Amino acid sequence: MKKILTVTVVAALAVLSVAPFTWAGDVQGKLKSVDATGRVLMLDDGTRLMVPPTVQIERKALQPGAQVKASYEERGGEKVITAIEIAPAQEK
């Protein structure tokens, strides 16, 4: 029984050591700029967010000054959006 448990634990650790880890996070801030493709968002604090084709965003909402609240996953060193909320920029 102890041998089976040891083999199972070693196998589980081996799988975890090779499995790609994805780090998830949340961010919010003011939209500073959007690239020409509409796929890269830059927040005023310098955070760069990538918009994958699977996430639909109304392009008209992507205006500088808009408030952005996003969830993302780290993939290949990039913050790739998994969900996003955009509130229009406040007019003065």
pLDDT of residue 20: 53
Q: Which architecture, in CATH terms, is 22-87?
A: Beta Barrel (2.40)
pLDDT of residue 22: 60
Q: How is residue 77 annotated by DSSP?
A: T
Residue found by looking up tokens 């949340």 in the block = 26
Residue-level pLDDT, tens digit, the chain, 92 residues: 555 544 344 444 444 444 455 678 999 999 999 999 889 999 999 999 999 999 988 888 889 999 999 999 999 999 999 999 999 887 66
DSSP string, 38-68: S-EEEETTS-EEE--TTS---GGG--TT-EE
All structural domains of the chain with their residue ranges: 22-87
pLDDT of residue 1: 52
What share of residues in the chain are helix, strand, coil (percent, to 5)?
20, 40, 35
